[in-house]
Each structure stands twice: as C-alpha cells, then as structure tokens.
Amino acid sequence: MAQATTMGRRYRRRVFVNRVMLTLTVVATALSIIPLVLIIFYVAKQGIGSISIDFLTKTFRPITFGSTSTGGGVLHAIVGSALIVGLSLLMATPIGIMAGIYLAEYPSNSASTVIRFCVDVLSAMPSIVVGVTAYVLIVQRSKSFSGVAGSVALVVLMVPIITRTTEEILRLVPQAAREAAVALGAPKWRTTLTVVLPMALSGVATGVLLAFARAAGETAPLLVTVLGNNNLTFDLFGPMQALPLLAYRYTEQPYQVLNQQAWGAAFILVVIVLGINIMVRITTRARSPR
Amino acid sequence: MRAESQTSSLRSRVNRQLQHGDMVFWIVSLLFAVLVVSLLFAIIAVTWHGSSGARHAFGLRFLYTSEWNPVSGQFGALPAIYGTVVSSIIALLFAAPLGVMIAVFLNTLCPMKLRLPLGMMVELLAAIPSVVYGMWGIFVFIPFFRDYISTPVSKTVGQAIPLFAGPVNVGRGLFVAGIILAIMILPTIAAISRDVMAVVPNSQREALLALGATRWEVIRHAELPYARAGIVGGMMLGLGRALGETMAATMVIGNTPQISSSLFQPATTAASLIASQLPNAGTALQSSALIYLALVLFLITLVANSIARMLVWRVSRTGQGA
C-alpha cells in the first residue's frame, strides 16, 4: 500500500475502518452459524443414541425412581402427531390453494388487497393466540381436550404459508400458457385447473410441504388444545400425544430416561423439519437460478 | 340502441360465463379466500368474547396491575407484559446488529460459491422447532451461561448495578430468554435486510465508488441509508416474532409472574403464562384472564407487524421503481 503512505493518515484510517467493519461482518456471520451447528450437533448426539426399535414401537412405560430401564417408547406420540397433522393438512391444503388461486388468477382489487393483508397478519400471528382460540371454540365447548382442536389450530398456521406460496408460484406461470388454453376454447376454470396449476404443481407442493414442516414442529397451540396423553389412542376427539408436546413434557421431567426420550423426539422433529426445508431450498434454487 | 346492445352483450357474456362454469369457479375461490379472512376475524371475535369475564372484572386495570394470584382471583398482566417486552428488546439488541452484519456479508463480501450454503444455514435457524431451542437452552445454554457469565457477572458488576444482581439459582431468567429469542429472530432480520439491500440501485453504489469510497463507506453511506426503512421493518418483524414466541420462552424464562430489577431473575411472558396456566386453569375467571392476555398479546404483535409490513413494502416498492 504505497499509495496509503502518500495519502496520509486520514486515508489510512478509512482503510482501517473498512477492514475492521468488513471483518466484523464475517465474525457476525460465523457467530450466527455457531448456534445452528451446536444445536444440530447436540440434538444428533443425544437423539441418535435414544432411537431404537423399542423407542419407535412402544408407548409410555411408568418409571419408578432410580430405575435405569430404558423401556417404553414414543409410538403414541408418533401416531398422535401423524393423525393431528394429517387432519390439518387435509383441511389446510384446499383452503390455502384455492385462496392462492383467487389472489393470483383474478385481477387485483381492493378485496384482494384486504385478503393479502389478512394472510400476512395470520402468518405473523403468535401460535399461542391461535391455540387459545381453538381452546375457547372447541375445548371449552366440548369440555374435553382433543386432537381435533389441535388440528384446527394448526390449520390456521398452515393456510397462510400455502396461500402465499401458491400465489407466488402461479404468478410465475407464463401468461402465454393461459392464452394458449383460452385460445383453444377452454374456460378460465379449466385453464386454471388443468393448465396453470399442473405447471406450478411442484411449487404448490413446496408450499404444502413447508406448511407441514411448520405444523409438525409446532408445540404451543397443541399444549392448550391436545394436552397430552400417555396412552396410545386413535381417538381424535380425546386428549392425544404429539412429538413436540412429548419433547416438552419429558424435558420438564426429573427422570434421565424421559429426558433422553425427549431428545429422541426432538431428533425426529429436526430431521423431518430440516430435511423438508433443505430439500425445498435446493430444488427451488435449482429450478430458478438467480 | 347502443345501450340496448350493450346490455344484451353483457347478458350474453354473463350467460356464457355461467355456462362454462367460470362464475361458479370464481365464487368458489372467492369463498375460500374469504374463509381465510374470516379465520382472522374469528380469532379476534373469539378472544374478545372469551375474555369478557376478565374484561368486566378488571377493565384496563388488567394492563397495569401486577398481582397474578389465581387463588384470590386477582389478575394483573403487568409482569407478563413487562417480561414479554423486555425479553424481546434484549433479543432485538443482540439480533439487530448481527442480522444486518450478516446481510452485508452475504450481499457484498461473501464469495459467490459460499452465498447459497451460508444463506441457507442462517435461514435454517428459523426452521428449527422452538421446543428444540427450549431444550437446548435448558440442557446446554443455561448451564454454560450460569457458570461462565451470569454468576461471575452478578458477583462483580451485579453488586453495584441492580440490573445484573444475583442470586443466580437455576439460571432461568429474562436475559437467557432474550438471548435464545435473539438466535430465533436472527434469520428473519438477516433475510429481510438482505432482500431490501439487494434492491438498492447500482447507481447509488457507483456514485460513491467514483468518489473513491472504500467498500465499507459504500455500504455505510449508500446501501444502509437507502434500505434503512426496510431494515427497520425487518427488525420490527423479528420483534413481532419474539413477542409471540411461546415454547422457548416458557422453557428458559422461569415462569414466575414477578417484576424484578435484575435481568438474571426468573420472569414470565404473556405467551408462556398462557401456555403454562390455561390447560389447568382452575376458575372461569382465570381462563378468562388468560384469554384476555392472549388478546392483548395479539394486539401488541399486530401493531409491531403492521409497522414492519408498511416499512418493508415501501422500500421494496420504491427500490424497484428507482
């Protein structure tokens, strides 16, 4: 830097500030990656150890203090999660996709602005507030905690994700495709359902998958609606167990065995959620290189 | 005559649309869109209606009294609101500068090959379920923080400044909750800052470069001011997330409805008070008070998010137009 000496102290100071700040941005990025690595590493370390055939195929077994038996598993939570999230997926998918079609395929007016705003508000809604709503609407009325109440709460969290991705992805379908279909005499609904939607199918599926990942890991609304249950049950109208709920409850237990099972449940959740997110990101980036 | 032909053509158009089912499809998709809107109004109506007992009993006094006693039937939300706001502000203080720095790094400095994986890793932080953050907080972060930071700090600085006073018992408290929340909202702030900085027109950068500015000066004097509103919007969105976050806060904050002058003491947030008490609320008044609290929480996050959306929307609109 021969220039620097000739240009004096002021320039050197500017170069120095430049270096320091740019280094700080590197440090900041590294700092934020560290928790991710630490969390994934720790969940994997603790979780893989507790996964076994028993863990996946047996249900809760009462624990006497001081015993070291690792009996019991989380089958009831896996079944509960699958039923609750499955039911909410069945409800949220058509609602989300149809609302997305309305926003993308019909001209924008003040109605669609209002709808878009509401979707935004819904997507930023604290999940516990949604849970409280389902609690008042369903749990208080039926006087029973139930899997259905949990599903309804999850629907509210999933719909905005599906609606927004559907809208965005439908907008990417070239106008020429619609014009071609209309030129062949297809009415708009046929154009939308048989031409536009299939072209955007992978994108729409992405939205549904992301919504599924969000719902699978959601705990707070289930806490006040599904409550938890130590027995294997297929009854969606009674209290159930779910993986994130079990992870929370077992963490608060004083028994080492249950803490270990909580990590196993957390590991399953992290694998599902991160798996879906990584897959979605890689495939969508590959399709639309920037 | 002309009007007549117009009406007849209108009629035939309507007929044609009905025949082909377009009208039906339009109505059906509109109904679903309206259903989404009604979800939002249902939430407002239900929490409003469900909280009527507590609203009549306490009115607005609920917001500034601090006794939360289910046994005597006294419910004041001030400790919960205090805990919610303070833990979120701590989170923002850590996450905001870090998030902007990450955005700067990923947008300008990072080698092209690393941009995708690094950006993805930061965003993946947002995908991890909050219960996992809570578990990690309890088993890993709290023991570390208690042994190496909060205990020594409370024994030295804490003697003079009540904000950091001990005793640090289990280690659960406001400050830890703030840090865990910071990790959780970091990706939101980073991603939005990145997006709004990406729409800063090149002419802005080139003008400063032509004047001989260093890379940092370009960022500091061209990119950041231009994208400022959007970056603030991203921070508000992160704040909204922190305010409403339930599980991680519940697990690490200690769940004690008290207002302590020290950040190392256990506290509670609105969301964690609801989550821990609503399933086994003993009286109708208690559940009503918790629903009231949910309504208050919703309104607080709504304000934060509305401001955020407006700011982000303004920048991305002018950014593209310029």
pLDDT at A290: 32
Interface test with A, best of B125, B247, B312 (most A CBs within 10 A): B247
The arithmetic mean of pLDDT across residues B8-13, rounded, is 73
CB atoms within 10 A of CB A279: 13
**Residues A249 and A229 sit within 8 Å (Cβ to Cβ):** no
A50 CA to chain B: closest CA distance, Å? 15
CB spacing of A43 vs B136 below 8 angstroms: yes
What pLDDT is stored for residue A140 in this prediction?
92
Q: Of B102, B129, B287, which is closest to A273 when you measure between CB atoms?
A: B129
Q: For the segment B158-170, what is each residue's pLDDT rounded down to a tens digit? A: 888 888 887 887 8
DSSP string, B238-286: HHHHHHH--HHHHHHH-------S-TTS----HHHHHHHHGGG--SHHH
Instruction: Give the closest-approach CA distance of B320 to chain A in angstroms.
Output: 17
What pTM did the predictor assign?
0.91
Q: How far is C-alpha B7 from the geometric centre of its chain's CA atoms?
A: 52
Chain A residue nearest residue B189, CA to CA: A32
> Apex CA B140: angle with CA B96 and CA B244, to 5°?
45
Nearest neighbour of A187 by CB, restricted to B22, B28, B102: B22
Given a cut of 80, is residue A286 above it in pLDDT?
A: no
Residue A133 clears pLDDT 90, i.e. is over it: yes
Q: What is the pLDDT of residue A64?
A: 67
Cross-chain residue pair B120–A278, CB shorter than 8 Å: yes
Over residues A17-71, the pLDDT tens digits come to 999 999 999 999 999 899 989 999 999 999 998 888 888 888 888 876 666 666 6
Which pLDDT belongs to residue A68?
A: 60
Rg of chain A on CA atoms, in Å = 25
Q: Mean of the per-residue pLDDT values for chain A?
A: 90
Q: Which residue has the higher pLDDT, A5 or A10?
A: A10
The nearest CA of chain A is from the CA of B125 a distance in Å of: 6
Confidence of residue A137 (pLDDT cuts 50, 70, 90): very high
- Of residues B12, B176, B20, B170, the one with CA closest to residue B87: B176
- List, for residues A225-270, the tens digit of each pLDDT value: 999 998 899 999 999 999 999 999 999 888 888 899 999 999 999 9
pLDDT score recorded for residue B321: 36
The torsion defined by the Cα of B39, B45, B47 and B52, in degrees rounded to 10, comes to: -170
Is the pLDDT assigned to residue B12 strictly greater than 90?
Answer: no
Question: How confident is the model over B38-61, as a mean pLDDT?
Answer: 94
SS3 helix, strand, coil % of chain B, rounded to 5?
80, 0, 20
Q: Do A126 and B20 touch (CB under 8 A)?
A: no
Among A25, A283, A284, most B C-beta atoms within 10 A, so best to mutate, is A25
For residue range B294-311, what is the model confidence (pLDDT) as tens digits? 999 999 999 999 999 888
- What's the confidence (pLDDT) of residue B155? 87
For A131, nearest residue in chain B (alpha carbons): B275
Q: Give the 3-state secondary structure of B146-198.
A: HHHHHHHHHHHHHHHCHHHCCCCCCCCCHHHHHHHHHHHHHHHHHHHHHHHHH
pLDDT 10s digits, B97-153: 999 999 999 998 888 888 888 888 888 989 999 999 999 999 999 999 999 998 889
Judging contacts by C-beta atoms under 8 Å, the chain B residues touching residue A128 are 244, 246, 271, 274-275, 294, 297
Taking contacts as CB-CB distances below 8 angstroms, the residues of chain A near B271 are 126, 128, 220
Q: Which residue of A has its CA nearest to B182?
A: A32
The answer to whether B279 contacts A251, with C-beta atoms less than 8 Å apart, is no
Q: Mutation target for A interface from B27, B236, B239, B246: give the one with most A CBs within 10 A.
A: B246
Question: Which band of pLDDT confidence, cut at 50, 70 and 90, is reported for residue A288?
Answer: very low
pLDDT at A283: 83
In angstroms, what is the C-alpha Rg of chain B? 25
The closest alpha carbon to A217, from B322, B12, B246, B282, belongs to: B246
Q: Say whether B43 and A156 touch across the interface (CB within 8 A).
A: yes
Dist CA A232 CA A59 (whole Å): 7
Give pLDDT tens digits for B231-274.
999 999 999 999 999 999 999 999 989 898 899 999 999 999 99
Taking an 8 Å cut-off on Cβ atoms, the answer to whether A24 and B106 are in contact is no
pLDDT at residue number B322:
34
Residue B66's alpha-carbon distances to A22, A182, B63, B292, in angstroms, are 46, 65, 8, 15
For B194-229, the pLDDT digits (tens) are 989 988 899 999 999 999 999 999 999 999 999 999
Cis amide linkage into residue B167, ω under 30° from 0: yes
Nearest CA in chain B to A186: B20
CB B277 within 8 A of CB B290: yes
Q: Which residue among B50, B132, B251 sits closest to A136, beta carbon to beta carbon?
A: B50
B chain contacts of residue A45, beta-carbon cutoff 8 Å: none
Measured CA to CA, the distance from residue B178 to residue A133 in angstroms comes to: 27
